[in-house]
Amino acid sequence: MKQQLVTHADILALWSRASDLATDLNVPYGRAHKWKQRKFIAPAYWDDLIVAASQRFDILLTYQQLQRGLNLVRGRKKVVDVVKKRAA
């Protein structure tokens, strides 16, 4: 059975070590560590996260999944089209 990736915490938990996450996303270790602590990754890093998850775990993440996870953190239910926001 495949793991359900519902929240940012679920997605970040794929990387058992913050150092691996930092390497895959080319960010400082401290930043990756804080993401794992906060169970949240900012939209500015979603492109790299999608690529890293695909390369390391052969998982297809979408902007909609990440937005749903963000909405859960913020207590919202409506899914916003992140792709349109980024293009603007």
Tens-digit pLDDT profile for residues 34-61:
999 998 898 999 999 999 999 999 999 9
d(CA 85, CA 87): 5
Single-letter residue type at 38: R
Please report which confidence band the pLDDT of residue 78 belongs to, taking 50, 70 and 90 as the band edges: very low
Nearest CA among 43, 57, 58, 48 for reference residue 24: 48
Single-letter residue type at 82: V
H-type helices in 1-88, by residue range?
A: 8-12, 18-25, 29-38, 46-57, 63-74, 82-87
Residue with tokens 């390369």: 55
CA distances from 65 to 19, 29, 31, 59 (A): 24, 24, 22, 12
Please report which confidence band the pLDDT of residue 84 belongs to, taking 50, 70 and 90 as the band edges: very low
Q: What is the pTM of this model?
A: 0.76
